[in-house]
């Protein structure tokens, strides 16, 4: 169980009409999306219908050394992917984009999301002779599309037909020999934006990736929309459109970069709004407002602006801690927070501190940070959280674990406050968290807070017998 939540992945695609270096553009975009996935990454390049790809475990800078990028060559199109995987999916075969060879040609696919009926679809395909090399939903979707392509008149028609059978959350890119296609599920629970650089089009999980290559934002892909980019420009199929977006609210709380714009709202300003609501819901007399870097800083600034309490930096984050920080003993793990964060004693000594963070999962990291501030001389520590308490699992790709592992399911808020050692504790209300994106014409999925999901999750989480130990199988 992670102390911080993780999103499943980020995707990026480019269709070049300006002699751009599509490999370098994709590399830079993945670097900008690295926060969305740090387990594996990959790039697939389309050179006149021939697709070359490379994917591996690791950060973008670790996987794509100069010689690897050089071997990918050049092309008209490229798609890229960075993945955060659970312990079960942290294998090279689950890295994306996945490339497929079939009777109609080659195809590459990169997906962000979870197919809720994957178990049933996969079982049906296996009984028909399909072979799977990974546990990734991307491979399942690729099977669905290629089977539909046998009778469909085009790749986009095949994708549209496959969507009729897919039930779940997905924001994906598909690259065929001649087309770059972006697809968003009918509820739009994961973001996908369209950008343009001169005459070239790009698709990305966040607008920060567009900025990395100098593209300007055009619009978001609509929920249920299929966007097709080819030599004739951009067009779309809206057969599955019509429902209002139910974007995962944690895109604004934590997942997205603060310099991104999602559904028309600046993530940075949305987080400031969370802090403003927190100041109104949970006021306190204090001398300094500070955030837990980096995710708590924007909300802390909003809290300070609304409360009139000065904003300051009292914790410094070590920018050079890699994605994996493996320590052998419990004592080492308990002290690891001191390597990642350090308090500035001269700032916090003798002060009544309002400490703002985005969430509390188990509470262990929060307790260590509070202890660090106490040791540095903080007189009082009042913690404010810019999201409601986690009480329910997420079935849509965020690694919120079973309810029994969530501290808010085992303790009251005052009990949590006592456990982590603060003088007071306040969470943002469910009523206000859905109001933080003022410019967004969408609704939000808040299932992890409320237990009310926009999709039926009754059969979610089923696992193929091939992914279980022999002793766990019934046959």
Q: Which residues are catalytic?
A: 9
Q: Which residues contact 67 (CB under 8 A, 6 or more apart)?
A: none
State the DSSP string of 165-213. T--EEEEEEEE-SS-EEEEE-TT--S--EEEEETTEEEEESSHHHHHHT
Q: Taking Cα atoms as reference points, which of 246, 245, 225 lies closest to residue 235? A: 225
Q: Taking Cα atoms as reference points, which of 231, 383, 177 lies closest to residue 300? A: 383
* Residue 169 backbone phi and psi in degrees, to 5: -120, 125
End-to-end Cα separation, the chain, in angstroms: 30
Q: Taking Cα atoms as reference points, which of 72, 84, 56, 77 lies closest to residue 12? A: 77
The Cα–Cα gap between 124 and 187 comes to 25
State the DSSP string of 56-107. EES-HHHH--HHHHHHH---SEEEEEEE---TTT-SGGG-S-EEEEETTEEE
Q: Taking Cα atoms as reference points, which of 81, 36, 85 lies closest to residue 174? A: 81
Q: Which two tokens stand for residue 367?
A: 């307790």
State the DSSP string of 134-178. SS-HHHHHHHHHHHHHTTSSSHHHHHHHHHTT--EEEEEEEE-SS
SS3 label, residue 21: coil
Cα 116 versus chain centre, distance: 17
Report the largest interatomic distance among the alpha carbons of the chain, rounded to a whole angstrom: 73
Judge contact between 448 and 392, C-beta under 8 A. yes
Looking up tokens 């303790």, which residue turns up? 411
Q: Which residues contact 161 (CB under 8 A, 6 or more apart)?
A: 148, 152
Judge contact between 162 and 138, C-beta under 8 A. no
**What's the CA dihedral at 192, 360, 342, 9 to 10 degrees?**
-20
Judge contact between 290 and 314, C-beta under 8 A. yes
């Amino acid at each position: 169980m992670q102390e911080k939540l993780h999103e499943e992945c980020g995707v990026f695609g480019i269709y070049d009409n300006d002699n751009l270096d599509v490999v370098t553009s994709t590399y830079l975009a993945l670097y900008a999306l690295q926060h969305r996935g740090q387990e594996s990454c990959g790039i697939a390049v389309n050179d006149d219908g021939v697709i070359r790809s490379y994917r591996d475990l690791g950060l973008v800078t670790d996987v794509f050394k100069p010689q690897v990028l050089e071997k990918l060559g050049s092309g008209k199109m490229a798609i890229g992917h960075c993945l955060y995987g659970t312990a079960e999916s942290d294998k090279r075969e689950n890295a994306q984009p996945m490339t497929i060879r079939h009777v109609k040609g080659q195809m590459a696919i990169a997906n962000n999301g979870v197919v809720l009926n994957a178990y049933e679809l996969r079982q049906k395909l296996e009984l028909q002779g399909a072979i799977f090399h990974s546990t990734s939903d991307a491979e399942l979707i690729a099977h669905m599309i290629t089977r539909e392509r046998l009778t469909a008149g085009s790749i986009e028609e095949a994708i549209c037909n496959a969507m009729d059978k897919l039930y779940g959350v997905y924001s994906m890119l598909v690259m065929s020999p001649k087309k770059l296609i972006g697809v968003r599920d009918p509820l739009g629970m994961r973001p996908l934006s369209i950008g343009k650089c001169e005459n070239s089009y790009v698709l990305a999980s966040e607008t920060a990736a567009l900025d990395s290559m100098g593209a300007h934002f055009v619009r978001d892909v609509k929920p249920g929309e299929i966007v097709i980019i080819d030599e004739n420009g951009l067009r779309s199929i809206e057969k599955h459109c019509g429902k209002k977006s139910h974007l995962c609210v944690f895109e604004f709380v934590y997942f997205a970069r603060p310099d991104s714009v999602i559904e028309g709202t600046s993530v940075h300003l949305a987080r400031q709004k969370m802090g403003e609501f927190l100041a109104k819901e949970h006021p306190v007399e204090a001398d300094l407002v500070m955030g837990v870097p980096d995710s708590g800083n924007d909300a802390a600034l909003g809290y300070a602006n609304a409360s009139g309490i000065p904003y300051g930096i009292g914790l410094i984050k070590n920018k050079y801690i890699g994605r994996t920080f493996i320590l052998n003993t419990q004592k080492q793990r308990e002290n690891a927070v001191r390597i990642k964060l350090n308090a500035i004693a001269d700032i916090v000594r003798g002060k009544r501190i309002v400490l703002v963070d985005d969430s509390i999962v188990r509470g262990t990291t929060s307790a260590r940070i509070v202890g660090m501030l106490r040791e540095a001389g903080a007189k009082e520590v009042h913690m404010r959280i810019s999201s409601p308490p986690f009480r329910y699992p997420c079935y849509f790709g965020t690694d919120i674990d079973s309810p029994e592992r969530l501290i808010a399911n085992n303790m009251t808020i005052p009990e949590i406050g006592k456990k982590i050692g603060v003088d007071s504790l306040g969470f943002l209300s469910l009523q206000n968290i859905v109001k933080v994106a003022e410019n967004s014409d969408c609704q939000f999925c808040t299932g992890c807070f409320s237990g009310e999901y926009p999709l039926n999750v009754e059969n979610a989480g089923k696992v193929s017998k091939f992914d279980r130990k022999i002793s766990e199988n019934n046959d």
